[in-house]
Structure 1
């Protein structure tokens, strides 16, 4: 079973942040900043989702999920939608991929959605404060590394059963029932 470690996730987040910042700076000389933003964020998100999917323990559905995501992403890029709608799509696609391939229950998916919202909020605050694309992306992906701890938070502990084994419990119940029938017969 493949697992994602904290250091591996931090390293991927750092690489994506560097590539995103460098890509934004270099491509903004050639294209309008709005187009560059959409292309860079979509590309980085594609790489992050590919990283998640191919480190998943699921054997099926990874490639089809990546193809579906890519198709929807290209359609949205060609439709010239607003940045807000694209960001909602990108964040929800991360959440959907992690919910399907990593989270085991509804509570874990809800916590994962909250983690993405926190990362998005911190990234917006960082961008408005520092105007640095590297720090913005780094803050978002650094917070996203915490998703590997969600299953540990939501693990449902089995109740310890201090009762008797089934056959012994049956024997006691059978003995009580025969004693009750004998008492009824004697009255």
Structure 2
């Protein structure tokens, strides 16, 4: 599966912002604002995490990660950690999934963390200045769409080896094939 692109990230941002706004409008009169805010936060975080897992090449953890994600999120909600803590937990889980599944190097993961924090601050700024959940989430997720531009993804080693010595490339391919046979 190919790495997600920026255009795809823009569509994800628009979808997330629209869905959250619709859910808030539909359930705003039925649920307490605290419960609705936590539910939206967990739902958006888990939904984005599932999207990231679906677009990852690595098949490991596709069942365990969502279960752990939901467990940690519900634990924070049940312990009444507050919405701020829930948002930080969701951002941390997004970063963890992107660092493990979409970035091949520590520097890439650190740049991603900076992008995530920038997006969170920009979303908070948009919420404070406009009062619009749609614009806050649109801003947050639109900035997150830029994560695909961070160099050093899981394919970086493969692309770098394409310019290496043909003998070394063949040797690495043979080692990978042998490792697959021994599994």
Query: TM-score, with normalisation over the residues of structure 2?
Result: 0.81
8 A Cα contact 1:20 1:41, kept in partner: no
| Structure 2 unmatched runs, 5+ | 165-183
Residue 42 (structure 2) pairs with residue 71 (structure 1):
no
- Does residue 131 (structure 1) correspond to residue 131 (structure 2)? The answer is yes
Paired residues in the alignment total 160
1:48 is aligned to 48
Name the counterpart of 2:102: 102
Shift of 1:134: 0.3
User: After the TM superposition, which parts of structure 1 deviate over 6 Å for at least 4 consecutive aligned residues?
Assistant: none
Name the TM-score, length of structure 1 as normaliser. 0.79
- Kindly provide the CA deviation profile for residues 44-74 of structure 1, in whole angstroms up to 9, marking residues without a partner as x: 1111000000110002112211111111112
Measure, in 2, the Cα distance between the counterparts of 1:127 and 1:34.
17
Shift of 1:2: 3.1
For residue 7 of structure 1, what is the aligned residue in structure 2?
Answer: 7
Q: Show structure 1 runs of 5+ residues with no match.
A: 162-187
Partner of 2:178: none
Cα distance change of structure 1 residues 151 and 63 upon mapping to structure 2, 3 Å threshold = farther
1:147-158 residue pairs with structure 2 within 5 A?
Answer: 147-151=147-151
Take 1:17 and 1:35, find their aligned partners in 2: how far apart are those partners? 18
Between the aligned partners of 1:5 and 1:149, the Cα distance in structure 2 is 8
> Structure 1, residues 55-95: CA drift from partner, whole Å, max 9, x if none?
10002112211111111112222222211111110110000
Taking the aligned partners of 1:145 and 1:13, their CA distance within structure 2 comes to 8
**Distance in 1 of aligned mates of 2:73 and 2:41:** 11
1:184 paired residue number: none
Contact 1:123 1:139 (C-alpha < 8 Å) held by counterparts:
yes
Deviation digits for residues 112-161 of structure 1 (CA, Å, limit 9, x no counterpart):
000000000000100000000000000000000000011259x6879x99
What is the Cα-based RMSD across aligned positions, in Å? 2.1
Kept after mapping to 2: 8 A contact 1:5/1:148: yes
Max radius of gyration: which structure?
1
- The aligned counterpart of 1:62 is 62
2:19 — aligned with what? 19
